[in-house]
Amino acid sequence: MNSVGIDISKGRSTVAVMRPFGEVVISPFEVRHTDSELSELARQLKSLDGETRVVMEATGNYHAPVAKLLHDAGLYVSVVNAKLVHVYGNNDLRRVKTDKKDAVKLANYGLDRWLTLPRYVPEEDTRLLLKNCYRQYRQYSKVQTVLKNNLISLSDSMTLTTSLDDALSDAETIIVSIGSQALRGLLGEIKPYEIKNQTFVLCMKGIETGTGRRLSEIAEENLDPSCRVAVWIGPGHVQEFYKGHPNCMVIDSKDEDVKRRLVAEFSSDLIRYYYGQDLLGNEIGAASKNVIGIAAGMLDGLGLSTLKGALMSRGTREIARLIKAMGGNELSAYGLCHLGDYEATVFSEYSHNRMFGEMLVKGEKYDQLAEGYYTADAMMVLADRYGVEIPICRAVYNILYKNADIREELSRLFTRSLKSEIE
């Protein structure tokens, strides 16, 4: 009996052939997903002495052409659920690829489950056609949504997937860009994959409500200790980059080597990257500028845009105080991640937070994500924890969460008791 384990990846697979008692029939080797190489693989497997069964994981659409060709060649093919293989043996089959070991483990899985391996049956052509039509319809719907949202579409060189298996399978660096309040939940979904020695780059700005935890802290708490965490923050909107408008951004991490590697790999003529020197301050600054952005939108909605200068000056000062109280460098508030991001947040037509504030004043519904809404709540946790006065953030919080009158709250903010400018 020959058990063939095939570890499927995009465009290629790794094959191993085992017999009982650990006998290696064919050492792991790589096969590309071309008709010629897959046909040669089928010929090679059929030439083996004894009964042969092929085992592979279900991996989105990647396994389908391999399974069908081998099936049509007359081989016994079994496509198994990845979760069943994941819990098999010593749990060392991880979706961050170690292809040769994974192929061997699949082969051993086949030997242990020899009599119960389900036989693969190709889907009928009509069913496949309907599934492809449905996928195309969903993609068309997404494009329509993109156009309505004034966003951009993905280039042909990028693959869009909703499968964590596919997204993590060949990843060299995992970039996370989601709503900040969903980060802990996403990391919970990733945890069963037992990812180790990987770099996670957090490309969003926020603070967790209720806890006041920074995003890098949440990642460190929920990832294997061998993983590295970095943040990618600073000014810029994807629409501007898409038009070829350059800007500057920051990469920061506790790991200096990771920081320098990412800057080297990400740098281009479009974006100039700086090495962050204060992870805490940069994260707090990047998140809190969204709250200032909401306040700016409120001023626009009230016809008080002339006060934006004062808003920017005083906003930077109160965030600097908070960063210092938390143990960071207060000068970070004056860097790219806070003050340097004001143009993209306080003035830009693409700023979700500014637009949210303006439409709130006008009584209009805004259905896009405005991170500042959640950050305003989280900032109160930090202000109370560290005993720091942050009046602008508190005013926004009172408006959003306590139904305070917008005009009265902002008027009170700008008519507070007299004080020195640098206080």
Q: What are phi and psi of 244, to 5 degrees?
A: 90, 15
CA atoms of 285 and 275, how far apart (whole Å): 16
Residue 232, token pair as written in the block: 């990618």
Contact 48, 25 (CB under 8 A): yes
CA atoms of 313 and 420, how far apart (whole Å): 13
Residue 79: strand pairing partners: 56
Known active-site residue 362: no
**Of these residues, 105, 259, 289, 308, which one is catalytic?**
289
Contact 93, 87 (CB under 8 A): no
- Residue 202: name the closest of 175, 225, 226, 223 by CA: 175
CA atoms of 330 and 388, how far apart (whole Å): 13
| Residues acting as catalytic residues | 289
